[in-house]
């Protein structure tokens, strides 16, 4: 992509003519003075090289939040400098352009609130978790995302003002850019930069666009990432090996010849069916009952094959397993907005980041580990599920900032997780 040359304000003939026409003679000179004052103000508040050096030193001591907190405290001064410039240039604008400018200023203000949340905790976390390096390493991919989404004009038309109005197409393009950039950053070693950039895009869209329909897609992604972690916990090599050994023994004992092989083939087909269904009929976009019915259709065959392998007193288990899944889906639909708000808060990002290490995941795996005798006996299984709730809560308390809303969400999740145990067999 070619470098874009931004012309000097004196070269923008259309602005000079517009200012003097709408604001009166001499208005353009006032705009130039206000622009110079804004530049001087910003340069006096932030020296880029000094900031870089301060960040590098703070990395060594883990005190980056202090650095960013110091600069975030200067936002009121920046706001005053910007307001002086925008008040002056608005004299040159039509009503629609003034409205667009006000929206843009509100977006900038909200971005400041997002970045400087808790004295810059988010930006400090972004830098600490390799966010800058992540973006540098994937700069080419991000550039391709921009080129693919927007047609960048390399020559600026000095005889026309840019269209600042935020319409549906701009919002749709912003959504496409978000998906592309986040997917690119998810290739980085740590997921924190991608999560924060994703949250930043959503923050902008919330201010600029009607994003009600987009929230379902965001929640779907969050659910997908969370489900990936749970799947990793349940399917550690040791756990999966034990389960398959137990299932094979039960199939050999209770099912006709080929019962185990038939169950395995059906389980693989069910997994593929569910993955395909979720891709085509996304969670939260698809009505809840329809989403659950789609999964139920995929599961019919494997439930039958599993029941064939189990003795009479254990035949409840396949349906019970999917009842847990349905209960968690109900929880997700009922708490979509809470999930987004808590998972993308500074506390939420920090909390989930702390579970990225192999050691932390191993601790969670231990919470889900069960004795062989507990896997199919409903009374023992439900007792174990309650113990899982207690164990996981303790792990979150050890590794996460104490936050009332996050704790409530975890508690409500486990109420849904244990709900099938409260139902009659």
Closest CA to 344 of 149, 167, 181, 201: 201
What is the chain's Cα-based Rg? 28
Per-residue pLDDT band at 214 (split at 50, 70, 90): very low
Share of the chain above pLDDT 90, in %: 12
Rounded to whole angstroms, the Cα distance separating 270 from 294 reads 11
Sign of CA dihedral 104, 181, 190, 281: positive
Domain ranges of the chain: 9-210, 222-422
Q: What's residue 125's pLDDT?
A: 77
pLDDT at 261 over 70: yes
Q: What's residue 419's pLDDT?
A: 92
Q: What's residue 349's pLDDT?
A: 64
Q: What's residue 154's pLDDT?
A: 41
pLDDT at 295 over 90: yes
pLDDT at 29 over 50: yes
Residue 105 C-beta-side C-alpha neighbours within 13 Å: 17
pLDDT at 299 over 70: yes
Q: What average pLDDT does the chain have?
A: 77
Rounded to whole angstroms, the Cα distance separating 292 from 140 reads 40
Q: What's residue 205's pLDDT?
A: 75
For the whole model, what pTM was predicted? Answer: 0.50
């Amino acid at each position: 992509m070619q470098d874009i040359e931004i012309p000097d304000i004196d070269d923008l003939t259309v602005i000079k003519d517009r200012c003097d026409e709408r604001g009166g003679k001499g208005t353009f000179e006032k705009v130039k003075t206000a622009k110079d004052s804004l530049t001087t103000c910003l340069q006096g508040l932030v020296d880029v090289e000094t900031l870089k050096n301060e960040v590098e030193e703070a990395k060594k001591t883990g005190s980056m939040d202090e650095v960013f907190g110091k600069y975030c405290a200067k936002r009121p001064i920046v706001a005053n400098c910007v307001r002086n410039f925008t008040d002056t240039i608005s004299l040159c604008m039509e009503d629609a352009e003034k409205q667009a400018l006000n929206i843009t200023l509100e977006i900038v203000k909200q971005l400041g609130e997002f970045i400087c949340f808790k004295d810059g905790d988010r930006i400090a976390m972004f830098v600490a978790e390799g966010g800058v390096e992540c973006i540098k390493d994937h700069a080419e991919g991000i550039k391709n995302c921009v080129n693919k989404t927007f047609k960048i004009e390399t020559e600026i038309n000095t005889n026309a003002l840019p269209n600042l109005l935020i319409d549906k197409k701009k919002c749709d393009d912003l959504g496409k850019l978000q998906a592309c950039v986040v997917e690119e950053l998810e290739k980085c070693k740590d997921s924190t930069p991608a999560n924060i950039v994703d949250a930043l895009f959503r923050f902008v869209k919330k201010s600029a666009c009607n994003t009600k329909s987009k929230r379902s897609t965001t929640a779907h992604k969050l659910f997908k990432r969370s489900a990936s972690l749970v799947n990793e916990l349940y399917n550690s090599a040791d756990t999966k090996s034990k389960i398959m050994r137990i299932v094979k023994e039960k199939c050999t004992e209770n099912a006709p010849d080929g019962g185990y092989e038939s169950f395995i083939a059906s389980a693989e087909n069910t997994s593929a069916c569910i993955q395909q269904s979720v891709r085509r009929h996304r969670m939260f976009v698809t009505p809840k009952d329809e989403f659950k019915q789609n999964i139920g259709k995929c599961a019919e065959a494997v439930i039958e094959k599993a029941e064939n392998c189990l003795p009479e007193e254990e035949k409840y288990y396949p349906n019970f397993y999917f009842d847990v899944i349905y209960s968690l889906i109900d929880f997700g639909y009922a708490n979509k907005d809470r999930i987004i708000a808590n998972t993308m808060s500074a506390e939420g990002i920090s909390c989930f980041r702390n579970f990225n290490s192999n050691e932390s995941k191993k601790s969670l795996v231990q919470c889900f580990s069960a004795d062989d005798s507990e896997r199919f006996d409903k009374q023992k299984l439900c007792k174990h599920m309650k113990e899982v709730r207690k164990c996981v809560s303790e792990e979150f308390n050890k590794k996460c900032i104490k936050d009332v809303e996050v704790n409530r969400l975890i508690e409500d999740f486990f109420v849904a997780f244990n709900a099938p145990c409260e139902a009659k067999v």
